[in-house]
Amino acid sequence: MAEAKPNPQPEADEPETAAPAPEVETQEDPFAALEEEVAVLIAERDEMRDRMMRALADAENSRKRAEKDRRDAQLYGGARIARDMLPVYDNLSRALSAANEETRAGAAGLVEGVELTLRELTNILEKHGVERISPVEGDNFDPHLHQAMFEAPVPGTRAGQIIQVMAEGFKLHDQLLRPAQVGVSSTPAAN
């Protein structure tokens, strides 16, 4: 049998194997991918910065609110007890105003004790920031400080003028504890 010689020519049926074609990059520019990743990171950073700034602002607001609450508690914490002591002040004042000369002479020690008690109560209230609102007849009515208990036409007065003081008012710093109770002149009646 005869040996077959290799045919250096490819047969027509055999596919021709050519050198591999250079790969054409179908991917995008590598810098574009990096730029996109940087943009995502910047957005995350900005979001985190915004959240951090909001958290800091909330913490600062909480600190300020707590400080204000502490100051208010310090200034106005005694408002309830001060308000509860006002009837004691009123009763001691009424007791002294009811004592005439005969009573003062007969019970000088008792009257002096009531005066000292009233003075001590007044000093304690003032020490804690409680101020008296003491209008006098002829002052103008101030609805922020006074409560009109009645209104009456009184000749020789102007409308809105205080004609009688029934009870003093009190305020704690700038907070009204109790308005002064007064009678107010209305427009005087024509004669």
Measure the CA–CA gap between 167 and 90, rounded to whole angstroms: 7
Tokens found for residue 57? 């602002």
The 10 Å Cβ neighbour count of residue 107 is 13
Selection from 182, 151, 160, 186 nearest residue 169 by Cα: 182
pTM > 0.75: yes or no: no
Residues in the chain: 191
**What confidence score (pLDDT) does residue 189 get?**
57
Confidence of residue 187 (pLDDT cuts 50, 70, 90): confident
Tell the residue number behind the tokens 């103008």, with chain if given. 140
19 against 75, higher pLDDT: 75
How far apart are alpha carbons 128 and 173 in whole angstroms? 9
Counting Cα atoms < 13 Å in the Cβ hemisphere of 74 gives 6
Mean pLDDT to the nearest integer, 52-76: 92
Where exactly are the structural domains of the chain? 32-76, 80-126, 129-191
Q: Cβ–Cβ contacts within 10 Å for residue 131, how many?
A: 14
Q: How far apart are CA 10 and CA 28, in angstroms?
A: 40
Higher pLDDT, 13 or 125: 125
pLDDT in tens, 107-165: 889 999 999 999 999 999 999 899 999 999 999 999 999 999 999 998 888 889 999 99
Residue 26's SS3 state is coil
> What is the mean predicted confidence (pLDDT) over 5-21?
56
Percent of the chain with pLDDT over 70: 83
CATH 3.90.1300.10 fits 129-191, yes or no: no
Both structure tokens of 145: 């400080």
Q: Residue 191 contacts by C-beta under 8 Å, 6 or more apart in sequence? A: 155
